[in-house]
Amino acid sequence: MRVFLAYRHGGRYFYTWIAVTIFAFNIELLAITVPDLNISWHAQGVLRFFGMRVPLYALFGFHQMFIYTSYVLVSSRLLFMVNFRMRLPWWAEGPGVGLSAMMLQLPFRILGTKMLWWTWHDTDPTIKERLGLHQPIGKCREMESIHTPAGSVLHREKYLCATKYDEAYFDFHCVPNGIPKQQDDGSGVLLPLEFYPICGTDFKNRAEYITVIW
């Protein structure tokens, strides 16, 4: 729907939609090709790209929904948006778009994490938070180093320790045989397990549910 509106009004709106789409491809590719940014795994979907890691809606869906919509809300000159314009000076429009996109994304990110639309790296120090690809289950307490844009080096566990992990958004209570088992490579060494089922958990914080979701 966003692309049809952008095409209809043309000019900078259509070019902005194209730019947001290019950004979506770049950010999703970086997230799976740069080890330090590999911190999330999408749930399984019908159409998936880049090694089954990126669903269609991640490339042509929520980036356009949040970023393009924020741009229109902040800087639109369209007649049907006249009552909703923020009327910011030109130098404040960029920060306004960023803040608006963040506000629109916040409920989506919280709900998506709880509903297992994606999962996060369990011990990544930069974030601290479905049947399909996940953080691999492997040897507990095996660490790896990651580099931040500021040049510092942080440490996190390389694999998800299935018997002791931080996340309370999922567990293995609905899996018939309990925690999925790693496969033996034939020499007695257990291989990391990337494809396995997980189970969602109940909303225990009702205040958070009512405030954020509704």
DSSP 80-139: GGGGG-----HHHHHHHHHHHHHHHHHHHHHHHHHTTSEEE-TT-TTT----EEEEEE--
Residues 147 and 116 in one domain: no
| Cβ atoms of residues 171 and 198 within 8 Å | yes
Q: How confident is the model at residue 116 (pLDDT cuts 50, 70, 90)?
A: confident
Residues 62 and 151 in one domain: no
Residues 184 and 83 in one domain: no
User: Which of 100, 120, 140 is the last residue before a domain boundary?
Assistant: 120
Residues 69 and 88 in one domain: yes
For 34, 47, 63, 121, the CA distances from 58, given in Å and listed in that order, are 18, 11, 7, 18
Q: Would the pLDDT of 84 be above 70?
A: no
Residues 102 and 149 in one domain: no
Residues 87 and 36 in one domain: yes
Q: How confident is the model at residue 10 (pLDDT cuts 50, 70, 90)?
A: low
Residues 129 and 93 in one domain: no
Half-sphere exposure (CA, 13 Å, Cβ side) for 12? 6
Residues 66 and 130 in one domain: no
The whole-number pLDDT of residue 25 equals: 92
Q: How confident is the model at residue 185 (pLDDT cuts 50, 70, 90)?
A: confident
Contacts of 11 (CB under 8 A, 6+ apart): none
Average pLDDT over residues 97-119: 84
Residues 16 and 84 in one domain: yes
Provide the domain count of the chain: 2
Residues 113 and 200 in one domain: no
Q: Which residue has the higher pLDDT, 212 or 191?
A: 191
User: Which of 120, 146, 165 is the last residue before a domain boundary?
Assistant: 120
Residues 177 and 77 in one domain: no
Report the percent of the chain where pLDDT is more than 90. Answer: 1
User: Which of 120, 142, 163 is the last residue before a domain boundary?
Assistant: 120
Its domain, for residue 8, covers 1-120
Residues 156 and 180 in one domain: yes
Mean pLDDT of the chain: 80
